[in-house]
Amino acid sequence: MAAAQVLRSEWTKLRSVNSTALTLGLAIVVSIGLGMLISALVNNDFKKMSVADRLSFDPTFVSFSGLTLGQLAMVVFGVLVVASEYSTGMIRTSLAAVPQRGTFLFSKITVATLLALAASLVTSFAAFLLGQVMLGDHSTTLGAPNVLRAVFGAAVYMTLMAVFSMGMAAILRSPMLSLGILMPFFFLVSPILGSVSATKKVAQYFPDRAGQKMMQVVTPPNDVAHYGPWGGLGILLAWVAAALVIGYALLKNRDA
pLDDT digits (tens, 9 = 90+) for 73-107: 999 999 999 998 888 878 888 888 887 888 889 99
- The b-or-e profile of 6-15 (16+ CB within 10 A means b, else e) is bbebbbebbe
Whether the model pTM is above 0.85: yes
CA distance 112 to 170: 14
For the chain, 256 residues long, give each residue's pLDDT as a single digit of tens. Answer: 667 888 888 888 888 878 888 999 999 999 999 999 999 999 998 888 888 888 889 999 999 999 989 999 999 999 999 998 888 878 888 888 887 888 889 999 999 999 999 999 999 999 999 999 999 999 999 999 999 999 999 999 999 999 999 999 999 999 999 999 999 999 999 999 988 888 988 999 999 999 999 999 998 877 888 899 999 999 999 999 999 999 999 998 876 5
pLDDT digits (tens, 9 = 90+) for 183-222: 999 999 999 998 888 898 899 999 999 999 999 999 887 7
User: In sequence order, which residues have a C-beta less than 8 Å from that of residue 118 and are 6 or more positions away?
Assistant: none
